[in-house]
Amino acid sequence: MSETAKVAREAVPPAAEDMSAPFTIGTEAYISREYARAEREKLWRKVWQQVGRIEEIPEVGDYLTYDILDDSIIVVRTAPDAIRAHYNVCSHRGRKLIDTPPGAKRARGKGKHFVCGFHGWTYNLQGQCTHITDRGLWEDTLTEERTRLGEVKVDTWGGWIWINMDPQCEPLRQYLEPAATMLDPFELGNMRCRWRRWIIFECNWKVALEAFCETYHVASTHPEFMKFGDFRGWARAQGKHGNIGYDAPKGLDENQAKLRLGSGSDPRVSTAEMQVYTWEQVNTNTTQTLVDASKRLVKELPEGTAADKVLRHWLDSARRDDAARGVIWPTVDPKHVGQSGTSWQIFPNFQIGHALNNSLCYSARPYGYDPDKCIFEAAVYELYPKGQEPQTEWEYLAADDPRWGTVLPQDFSNMAAVQQGMKNGGFRGTLPNPYRERNIANFHRNLARYMGTAAPGKLK
Ligand code: FES
Ligand SMILES: [Fe+2]
């Protein structure tokens, strides 16, 4: 941190909910090579990480791999109701057991066992070594304990598969609270991917995630959205995690604010305009059903209908339209919807932007030990009629690919510029908005607990 910073480093308040004071965060966590190296031991080998969806491995023998820095993990379905995770390395001489296909982010396949390509040692789905050529030459030393694949903790929540490399880790459910309880009513496990893309950014993984976890940037980065409404967003510290949402404008409850109902002189028109724009330019946060229902508002409601009535009519008719094709939205108390906000930041690197019939999720992780590079993923989910779920796979999409639309590239344009700016000798550390970016300060407080350095400092 720069000497010129008028900052006193002091103990960060213990209460998770209290991160309302102004904080500053030094640049170490974003740009230091030593810090990036230390993340492997101190962070990534200790935390629960989301590695894929349960529906990606529906049948016994289906597997996928997940790589994080030097570690690679195989997640495999071993029984109709059981999933296991193994380190992706052969016990013989250390060859990676399952290779990642060139240009892909991971491997995905199906098999009865895993055969190492080097000398043919073979493992069953449970990770036991079942074949070793010349086994007798080792005398009786090749015990199951010595030869089986290393075990990794695995569990599921929200439709996702999560792994943890720390044998002493706390249970997933406990780790995820209070996010798990707040998000359970949205039944995210029933949603399926509409699209999922990944990209490599020239910035630290924290810079990438932090570009998507606050609403403070919307007015400047996405000015075209301001004509649809100017809802101020909040951010809260939620223990290890955080969440954000929109403040309710006068006359609207929090639930309505969450949906950023189009404002303007005629909410029927602006709601439809915002839906169409979002659908066409971002293809996130909404569905065809919601868009179609919004387009009918002008026909179905008289001029002058109040904003709250427009919202109710729109959502009710979209819910009905979906029900008619077998897509049942969960029923969630509007108060709970409001409190849950628009998205949750799950420590350390996953964000769930939840809604009743769709969600938008981001994750980011380091690309090797280069602090200036990361792998970023975006995935959009929605509820589908049974049997009509699309089959998708991760697709690499360069930042200038038109399929990203016009809105997300506006966010992308900040990534490398922030990373570069953080290294500028004149930069004195970040100044997150104490109300609208509080989750960022909270994230760094939690991160510092794992890393033992770079805690946010209170601004004086
Ligand atoms: S390294 Fe796998 S069989 Fe030799
Ligand atoms: Fe954005």
Residue 367 has pLDDT above 70, yes or no: yes
Can you give the pTM of this predicted structure?
A: 0.94
Q: How many residues does the chain have?
A: 460
Report the distance separating Cα 221 and Cα 216, nearest Å.
9
Atom number, ligand 1, closest to the C-alpha of residue 93: 1
Query: What is the number of the ligand closest to the CA of 353?
Result: 2
Report the distance separating Cα 27 and Cα 2, nearest Å.
9
Q: How confident is the model at residue 263 (pLDDT cuts 50, 70, 90)?
A: low
| Residue 93 CB–ligand 1 contact under 6 Å | yes
The residue behind tokens 């839906």 is: 275
Q: Mind listing the pLDDT tens digit for each residue in 124-181? A: 999 999 999 999 999 999 999 999 999 999 999 999 999 999 999 999 999 999 999 9
Average pLDDT over residues 318-328: 98
Q: Whose CA is nearest to atom 4 of ligand 1?
A: 119
Contacts of 75 (CB under 8 A, 6+ apart): 51, 52, 57, 63, 64, 65, 66, 83, 84, 85, 154, 161, 163
Report the distance separating Cα 130 and Cα 33, nearest Å.
42
Q: Mind listing the pLDDT tens digit for each residue in 377-410? A: 999 999 999 999 999 999 999 999 999 999 999 9
Q: Residue 2: its pLDDT value, please?
A: 39
Q: Whose CA is nearest to atom 3 of ligand 1?
A: 119
| Residue 63 CB–ligand 1 contact under 6 Å | no
